[in-house]
Amino acid sequence: MQPVIIERLGHLGDGIAPGPVYAPGTLPGEVLDGDIDNGYMPNPRIVTPSPDRVAPPCVHGKSCGGCQLQHASEAFTANWKTEIVRTALAAQGLETEFRPIVTSPPQTRRRASFSARRTKKGALAGFHKKRSDVIVPVPNCLLVHPDLAGALPLVEALAVLGGSRKGELSVLVTTTETGLDVSVTGGKPLDSELRASLADIARDYDLSRIAWGDEETLQRRPPVLHFGPAAVTPPPGAFLQATPEGEAALRDAVLEITKGAKRSADLFAGCGTFALPMAQHSEVLAIEGARAMTDALDHGWRMSRGLKAVTTQTRDLFRDPLIAEDMAKLDAVAIDPPRAGAEAQIAELAQAKPAKIAHVSCNPVTFARDAARLVRAGYDLDWLQVVDQFRWSTHIELVASFTLR
């Protein structure tokens, strides 16, 4: 066993030493020893700890796979995530002003996807163990909202009713203003007995809604979220920002960037996270690929007062991007693509040349690629802000301002 020194963290959060040797739960500068198997040190012993090492605040921190960086100080994590974005920009020859990172507090995640499995004595529910399909119970989880942590008995009850001992149930639970919204996948086919039992569970746990795959949705009351002044009921499983604090940081930045625009667009608009707040000051064209989400956005707008016109369109912006001619009269565009980025749509934006672009991203590498295209087309990358909604994880989000020179 040769001592190794960790040089950096990889994108999955493992420490990387020369070789390379990968060691989970370690930090740059730490000296380790331990058995190495095919370049991996599964159980490193830390000989010299980093000054950035802290005791994991959660009792499940060492076993649960939901968090990768609980052993790192908050300052280290904030700097590490910021430097990942800075490095991605540098690879494209870009640099800009970085605003201070915004990190969501503990116990603010409003959505969690729990795994559950039936057992001989009942059911097991929680998150997966690190690098394993074994389910780890996570009572008192410090990551999710207390209402989600308290929903584990509900998840177990659903597994007993509709799961199997061979398969695994996935239960997505979201906190809303009117109660928990639950979406279950991987369960057995729905029959009359299971349907009746789900109705009982929805009543017993006072759920706002429960969806069983694509087969049935039982709604006791609409699960409501507010985007600006608009009350929206997202479809089951719809994309949402992970925390209210993270959403607020992204929304405020988008509104700052697009301020003063009379006509705007929100591309990859979801259920209206940005489009509906933008409509307080601007007419908005909101485009999203899933009709259920554009319908929810449209209904939320129609039921609101005081908003300017919002036009929704269901469109796959990867295969059928909004062309430059259709954006000729826009003053500002907000865009929030998935991890793959929006290469085809960015190319059209670069031709359309709206005065301002607010770019939200969850992948620094594809963001930097798309940002470079905009800069070559005549935009300044004014500033960028990292938003850490996924506390203690390796996930990174950001929002950036572009102005046409």
Sign of the CA dihedral with 144 first, then 147, 148, and 153 last: positive
- Classify residue 220 by burial, with Cβ atoms within 10 Å: 0-12, 13-18, 19+: middle
DSSP 95: -
Contact call for residues 294 and 238 (beta carbons, < 8 A): no
The dihedral over CA atoms of 189, 193, 198, 201, expressed in degrees to the nearest 10, equals -140
Tell me the CA distances in angstroms from 133 to 44, 130, 136, 167, 306, one per residue in order.
22, 8, 9, 11, 49
Closest Cα to residue 265, out of 324, 341, 344?
324
Q: SS3 sequence, 281-325?
A: CCEEEEEECCHHHHHHHHHHHHCCCCCCCEEEEECCCCCCCCCHH
Nearest to 241, CA basis, from 143, 127, 321, 360: 360
Cα dihedral value 136, 140, 142, 143, nearest 10:
60
Rounded to an integer, what distance in angstroms lies between the CA atom of residue 256 and that of residue 278? 10
Q: Are 237 and 172 in contact, with CB atoms under 8 Å apart?
A: yes
Distance CA 113, CA 126 (A): 9
DSSP code of residue 11 = T
CA 58, CA 141: separation in Å to the nearest integer?
A: 7
362 counts as catalytic: yes
Angstrom distances, CA of residue 67 to CA of 22, 30, 115, 394:
17, 20, 15, 8
Catalytic pick from 58, 64, 141, 362? 362
Question: Count of CB atoms within 10 A of residue 191's CB?
Answer: 11
Rama region for 207: left / alpha / beta (φ>0; ψ in -120 to 50; rest): beta
Q: Helix, strand or coil for residue 119?
A: strand
| Catalytic (active-site) positions | 362
